[in-house]
Amino acid sequence: MRLARPTCCLLVIVAIACAVHRQAVAAEVVTVTLVGGGRVTGPLLRKNDDGVVLDLGFEVVQIPAKKVLDVRAADAGEDQRSDRETDRGVFRTGRLEARDVPELVRRFGDSVVMIRNPGGLGTGFITSRDGHVVTNYHVVENHTRIQATLFRKTDKGFEKVELRKVKIVALQPLRDLALLQLDLEEAKGKFPEPVVINDRDDLRVGDLVFAIGNPLGMERTVTQGIVSSTTRTIDQMRLIQTDAAINPGNSGGPIFNARGEVVAVACAGAAIFDGLAFGIPANELIDFLVHRDTYPYDESQPQNGVTYLPPPYRPAQPGEKAAATK
């Protein structure tokens, strides 16, 4: 028996609809976390290097890979969706949930401190509840008298807490890293919440990052950008390159990802170019902190803490010039 043309078309449409329905039923329901903290939940149709495609029922949505922070099964337990942190003594590592930058600044901004020496200033960040602080080696190089400034939040805003009993714990010149410790009694209260360091080495080119520091002494300055390169090598050091503004005074400050995890330590910026800055990767920082006993600060070594000032300038006399030319 031969079917009429309308009947054939109807059967084809029904078959296609059934196939699409079976695909939708079989598709895994996932929650996609976006850069900035937003979430989208729906059946996963495709996931590749270009991004993910979700079926929202009324529309198919394609999300570019650069906007995707995480993809997880929608039925994941609450423990998989919450922050997970590990205390490792003088620092913490973990995986945090994505949030927008203002919220992350409110949470971790107080852990960023200003580091001063007789010759200038830089930035540091608190890594433990015992007051351990990470900064750059060149911020404290050739100095023994270090001062730190905490910014403590109060009902009336922020107040400065000047700390002068700053102890130098370890120095690693080759990686431009230094570990300090603040005095709890001098702080007169608890230290701010320590930062969480990323230990997964999952930073990608194009990822959102932001830095908090004190450029030119301008306290608690926040700058934002993206990762330009994860494999930049300068003077045999592997660095993270970013277009977030890093200026003199930012040195030693944290560079965070979109989760609020420290992924690098700001160490250099180009004074004559915009969008060219560098940071020491988090895995280098973790290696330094784990093996800090290998790089202890020794007060008995003059090259660790004595600054030799140049002699006073005295113009040469005419007779001295003549003697010098003979």
- Distance between CA atoms of 97 and 37, rounded to whole angstroms? 8
For residues 169 and 296, the answer to whether their CB atoms sit within 8 Å is yes
pLDDT 10s digits, 71-119 = 888 776 554 556 788 999 999 999 998 888 999 999 999 999 999 998 8
> Which DSSP letter does residue 311 get?
P
Q: How many CB atoms lie within 10 A of CB 307?
A: 11
Q: Looking at the predicted structure, is the pLDDT value of residue 5 above 70?
A: no
**Between the ranges 49-58, 153-162, 219-228, 294-303, where is the mean pLDDT highest?**
219-228
What percent of the chain lies above the pLDDT cut of 90?
Answer: 54
Taken in order of first residue, the domains within the chain and their CATH numbers are: 9-78 (2.30.30.100), 83-297 (2.40.10.120)
What's the pLDDT band for 24 if we cut at 50, 70, 90? very low
Average pLDDT over residues 196-225: 94
Per-residue confidence band for 325, with pLDDT thresholds at 50, 70 and 90: very low
pLDDT at 271: 65
Just list the catalytic residues: 138, 176, 251
* Pair 114, 270: CB distance under 8 Å: no
Confidence check: pLDDT of 23 > 50? no
Q: Using alpha carbons, list the distances in angstroms from residue 236 to 175, 232, 285, 293.
A: 10, 10, 16, 23
In this prediction, residue 285 has a pLDDT band, given cuts at 50, 70 and 90, of very high
pLDDT level of residue 301 (50, 70, 90 thresholds): low
Residue 318 has pLDDT above 60, yes or no: yes
Please provide residue 270's backbone torsions phi and psi, each rounded to the nearest 5 degrees. Answer: -85, 125
Residue 27 pLDDT: 75
Q: Is the pLDDT of residue 266 over 80?
A: yes
| Mean predicted confidence (pLDDT) in 303-318 | 63
Confidence of residue 186 (pLDDT cuts 50, 70, 90): very high
pLDDT score of 21: 47
Task: Supply the pTM of this predicted model.
Answer: 0.77
| Tokens 């080119």, located at residue | 205
And the tokens for 222?
């926040």
